[in-house]
Every structure is written in structure tokens, then in C-alpha cells.
Amino acid sequence: MLGSCLNNVRTKSPLVHNITNYVTVNDVANAILAAGASPIMADEPDDAYEITAICNALNINIGTLNSRTIEAMFRAGHRASELGHALLLDPVGAGASTLRTDTAVKLMKEIKFDVIRGNASEIKTLVSGSGTTRGVDADKADAVSDSNLKFMAGFVRDFARSTGSVIALTGAVDLVADAEKCYAIRNGKPEMGRITGTGCMLSGITAAFIAAYPDNKLAACASAVCMMGLAGEIGYSHLQEGEGNSTYRNRIIDAIFNMTPETLERGAKYEIIG
């Protein structure tokens, strides 16, 4: 199933519109290309509205907000919803500031997202409508671990049920859930947290996967999360002495580019809860 999702992306090559943050925009574009899809970026409101119409998916990332991009997010989001496109929300830093939190919550109220992807602190903020996070990083107290895995899986399923979205809570253990089923995914390397943009890249890739496999968005999302984590493992194994996080970023993108459905099926580490 996971390999089929990747094969669909490579076959259909969906066009993904990204309203994302300027810290990671180039990496997001290259990761989407590596996965086999096509990226386009537009955040001027009039342009974003028009560009949305020619795309298959919309990835909204709130990492660097301003009044212009917020307007673009709502206009593009409503347009994508009208057209039945795949929609993903990445609430980067929700809980770190009032603007981020309020924008993410309002986007959720006005637009039906197929997938909401964030770290544990960001997801908890969206559930409560308020919260505090340490910048864009998850608080350690919110981390998913073996000791709280069943509780957190239930928490994510409940949020999926209330929103009607697939929820991807990513961290040391990734949880991808709809109202009935939760994937607990253990791919990845801790060193991925030393690179700015791995989460942003994952959101762009996930938007491509759900556009290419609309009949099973849960499996599509889980496949994207497994692939990103596995690419982190493969990329790390190829690092040479003296290479650091800059090279590691490129190794991850290369691993995505070279990923095959068979490699993904063999390397995916997950269990299904509930």
C-alpha cells in the first residue's frame, strides 16, 4: 500500500501550490520535485487565487506570516476547497504567538483540510485554541513515547474525528490518524531535528501524496511520513567524515529522489493502533 502511494505520485506528478515560509521555500520545492511531483509558489493574494485553480493540491504553511500572505492563504484555501483540491495545513509555531495561533485556528474554522500536520505542541494548541511552544520546536513534555503511545494515539484520533481531517503529529514517534485508525511510525533520525525545514519538506510532499492517492488519504499521509523518515535514515548513513547538517539536508533530498516503492515498503517501520 505505501509503495503504491509513492508510485501514484511518480505517475501522476501532481502540481502542488505552496504558500509556505521563506526560510525553507527552496528546500520544499526541491523535496516535492524529488518525490516526483511539481511545486509552484505564489503568495500574492490575486496571484495565489489564480494559481490555485491550475493545481492539484494546496500546502499552507504559517511559518512566516504577514498580512499579505494571510490573505493569500484564505483566498487560495477557499478556492482550493471549491475545486475539490487536496488541502494541507502546517501550523508552524502555533502557540508561539497570538498571530500564529489565531491564524491557524481561523483557517481550520473556515477551510476543511484533508491533512493537518504539525508537532505535538502545535497540534495540542489547535485542539485547545491556545497554548505555548518554544518557537517552532515541540516542548519535550509533549513528546510521544512508548509510555504514552496509546493515550496520544487516542488523542490524535479524537482530533481527527472532530475536524474530519487526517492528523499527522510528527516527532520522535510519528502518529498519523483518522477517526478510526492510527499509524505509529518509527522511521527517522534524531539528527533531522538539526536541519531547518524537514517538517516543511514533509508537508509539501504529503500534499503531493494525498493529491495522487485521494481514495485513501490516511495511507497516503502515512506513506509520505514513512518516506521522509526513511530518507533521513538513508541520508544519514551516507554522510562522510567532516560533513554536517548542510550536507545532510542534501542527502535527505537525494534519498527521496532515489526512493523506490520497493525500498519504501521494505524500510517503513510502523504499527497500526486502533
Give per-residue pLDDT as tens, 40-96: 999 999 999 999 999 999 999 999 999 999 999 999 999 999 999 999 999 999 999
Per-residue pLDDT tens digits for 70-85: 999 999 999 999 999 9
DSSP strand E in the chain: where? 15-19, 38-41, 57-61, 86-90, 115-118, 166-169, 174-177, 182-185, 270-273
The H or E element spanning position 198 is helix 198-212
Indicate the average pLDDT of the chain: 94
The strand pairing partners of 94, in sequence order, are 97
Helix axes 217-237, 2-12, angle to 10 degrees: 90
For residue 182, give Cα distances in angstroms to 53, 143, 150, 196, 222. 32, 16, 10, 27, 9
Q: Is the pLDDT of residue 134 over 80?
A: no
Task: Please state the rounded mean pLDDT for residues 101-111.
Answer: 97
* 144, 171 Cβ separation under 8 angstroms: yes
Tell me the C-alpha distance between 221 and 147, whole Å: 24
Domains of the chain in sequence order? 2-273 (3.40.1190.20)
Q: Determine the pLDDT at residue 19.
A: 98
Q: How does pLDDT run across 167-194, given as a tens digit for each residue? A: 999 999 999 999 999 999 999 999 999 9
What pTM, to 2 d.p., does this model score?
0.94
For CA atoms 29, 35, 40, 42, the dihedral sign is negative
The pLDDT, as a whole number, for residue 147 is 84
